[in-house]
Amino acid sequence: MSEKFKAILITRDEEKRQSVAIAELAETELMEGDVTVRVEATTVNYKDGLAITGKAPVVRRFPMVPGVDFAGTVTVSSHPDWKAGDKVILNGWGVGEVHYGAYAGKARVKGDWLVPLPAGLSARDAMAVGTAGYTAMLCVMALERHGISPARGPVIVTGAAGGVGSVAIAILSRLGYTVIASTGRPAEADYLKDLGVTEIVAREELAAPGKPLGKERWAGGVDTVGSHTLANVLSMTSYGGAVAACGLAGGMDLPTTVAPFILRGVSLVGIDSVMAPKELRLEAWRRVATDLDRGKLEALTRAIGFDDIIEAAKDIVEGKIRGRIVVEM
């Protein structure tokens, strides 16, 4: 029971300066919860990068074990839904922010936060998907709810070479959509085409202030960037289209006008993965298992070790990571 395991720990000194190190924890030091899980795989999301570098106030309790995503096996449970041996996934719910998270050999959480590992997915697959991929699925589901079928026209994905972007492209192309990618990394053109992109728009084209309404270029969008990029995506969305907004890689502001909404009936759909209700999560993970090509998932994923997490966290906030990262414990 008191066996120690490795964990990443973020601490803060009296001057509120944050530091991060690899430490050892015992199960008795974990926070309250009714299910204990042996973490078998995790990942590094943009948010984990913000948490570890301290670039944004993601962590709101110190010390903290960061990591918003894990997949593993239940070792102890007093929750009616779970028993020892069950394979589970956790995404969000404030884990890695206010509750000890994924970057540790074990995690103790509320059973209500867990979803079962879908049949056919390994812990590694689930973390190659991770919050980024499950959010991409939530975005695609939102477009579908707004009637954006492949027949309506192309869909643009911004921040295309990132985690959410890459998985969104793989899913959309598998579902038969024509996918346009916006990227700041022209060198990744072949990578994006292999994932299913047919046209690439340079990041600069959408990052500068634009007009309230532009030429109608796409029926829908998955936006991970925010700011002028999202404003331009909206202004070029065709009549009755919809854009799912999930990210702020380019900024938190949204300098738009009401023109796309009141003159073209465009919908802006907000996507949150952290507090998303369980039913929606179960549906998203079920869809991930069926609608994400496993070969493409492998192609967009790179594996690293536990000791590489801190470096990868720095890289992701600098926009240096392509696709998804998986960490096998």
List of residues contacting ligand NDP (CB under 6 A):
45-47, 131-132, 135, 159-165, 183-185, 203, 207, 224-225, 229, 246-250, 271-274, 316, 319, 321
Beta carbons of 249 and 159 less than 8 angstroms apart: yes
Tell me whether residue 25 or residue 271 sits nearer to ligand NDP (CB atom): 271
Tell me whether residue 148 or residue 313 sits nearer to ligand NDP (CB atom): 313
Strands 267-270 and 218-223: unpaired
Residue 294 CB, nearest distance to ligand NDP (Å)?
A: 20
End-to-end distance of the chain based on CA atoms, in angstroms? 19
Tell me whether residue 225 or residue 231 sits nearer to ligand NDP (CB atom): 225
Strands 218-223 and 237-245: parallel
Residue 260 host element (H or E): helix 259-264
Helices 46-53, 309-317: inter-axial angle, 10-degree rounding:
100
Tell me whether residue 162 or residue 241 sits nearer to ligand NDP (CB atom): 162
Instruction: Give the residue at shortest CB distance from ligand NDP.
Output: 162
Residues ≥6 apart with Cβ < 8 Å to 229: 158, 182, 203, 206, 207, 223, 250
Residue 13 CB, nearest distance to ligand NDP (Å)?
A: 27
For 85, the 3-state DSSP assignment is coil
Tell me whether residue 96 or residue 163 sits nearer to ligand NDP (CB atom): 163
230/206 Cα distance (integer angstroms): 8
In this structure, the number of other CB atoms found within 10 A of the CB of residue 318 comes to 10
Residue 1 CB, nearest distance to ligand NDP (Å)?
A: 35
Tell me whether residue 125 or residue 188 sits nearer to ligand NDP (CB atom): 188
Residue 44 CB, nearest distance to ligand NDP (Å)?
A: 8
Residue 109 CB, nearest distance to ligand NDP (Å)?
A: 18
Residue 293 CB, nearest distance to ligand NDP (Å)?
A: 18
Residue 269 CB, nearest distance to ligand NDP (Å)?
A: 11
Tell me whether residue 51 or residue 121 sits nearer to ligand NDP (CB atom): 51
Going through 102-247 in order, the beta strands assigned E by DSSP cover 106-109, 115-116, 155-158, 179-183, 197-202, 218-223, 237-245
Report the b/e string of 197-217 with b at 16+ CB within 10 A: beebbebeebbeebeebeebb
Residue 272 CB, nearest distance to ligand NDP (Å)?
A: 5
Residue 14 CB, nearest distance to ligand NDP (Å)?
A: 29
226: left (phi > 0), else alpha (psi -120 to 50), else beta? left
Instruction: Annotate 76-140 with DSSP letters as a single string.
Output: EE-STT--TT-EEEEE-TTBTTTB--SSBSEEEE-GGG-EEPPTT--HHHHHHHHHHHHHHHHHH
Beta carbons of 104 and 72 less than 8 angstroms apart: no
Tell me whether residue 151 or residue 275 sits nearer to ligand NDP (CB atom): 275
Tell me whether residue 250 or residue 260 sits nearer to ligand NDP (CB atom): 250
